[in-house]
Amino acid sequence: MRRKLAAGNWKMNGTLADLGELDSLAETHPTPGVDILVCPPATLISAAAARAGKGPIQIGGQDCHHADQGALTGDVSALMLADAGAHAVILGHSERREGHGETSEEVRAKAKTAQAASLMTVICLGESLGQREATNTLDIIGAQLSLSVPDSSNGENLVIAYEPIWAIGSGLTPSPDQIGEVHDFIRARLEKRFGAGVGRSVRLLYGGSVKPDNAAEIFAVSNVDGALVGGASLRAADFSPIITALESA
C-alpha cells in the first residue's frame, strides 16, 4: 500500500516568525495517518528541521542544483539540503520551468543528484491552458515524465506531482475526470518503464488550487495519493483540513 502524502510548498514566503505554523500542525496531527512534508524557502530549512525534530512533519527544499559543489553563486546543492536537515526536494515546478527556463533534461540531472544524496524527489509535471485546450495534455505529460525522471527512481525516492499550470494559484481546478485521466496515464507509464512493482509504489500527487473545500473530491479520484499544496499550506488552519481529508480518503 502506498502511504499517502500531504506536501506543502511555501514558495517564496515565510520568515523565522512563521515556523510556529509547524508547531500548530504537529499539535493538530501528532500521529497522522499520512506523511506530511513542508518545503519552506532555503533560508528556513535548517531552523524548520530543528523545529520539527523527530515529530510527524518532514522538511524539504524547493529546488537544488545538479552539481554537488562549485563556483555557482546563489545555488544550493542536494548535499547542502540534506546537511540542513531536508528529507526531500521539489523539482521541475512549473514556476521553475517557466520562470527560469528549466528543461526536463535539467530536472532529470537534478533528480539524479538529489536521489544520490538520499533525498526524496518530488518531480512536477503539468500543461499550460493552451496545451490543455489543444487536447495535447497527455503528450506533454508523457514527454515531461520520460525526460524528467532518472533511471535511479523507485517508490522510496520518487514522487510525481501533476500540477496543471493553468490551475496553480488561479482558483481553477480540473474536473475529477480530467485529474483521473492524467494520473491513470502516469501510473501506466511508470509501470511500463519500471515494472509493476516500482510503478505501483510511486506516489502520485495532485497540485493546483487544492483547498479544504475541494480536497475530499480530489482525493477520491483514482491514483491520487495526496496533494502538493501551495498557498493553503502556509497556515496550519488551512493545511490541516486538507490533511484530515486525505486521512479520510
- Which residues are designated catalytic? 93, 163
Q: Tell me the residue ranges of DSSP E strands in 75-188.
A: 88-91, 120-125, 158-162
Radius of gyration of the chain (CA): 17
CB 191 within 8 A of CB 223: no
Match 506536501 to its residue by C-alpha cell.
Answer: 7
Here the cell at position 66 is: 545538479
Residue 19 and residue 16: Cα distance in Å, rounded? Answer: 6
Q: How far is CA 130 from CA 44, 171, 178, 226, in A?
A: 36, 17, 15, 26
Bridge partner residues of 35 (DSSP): 5
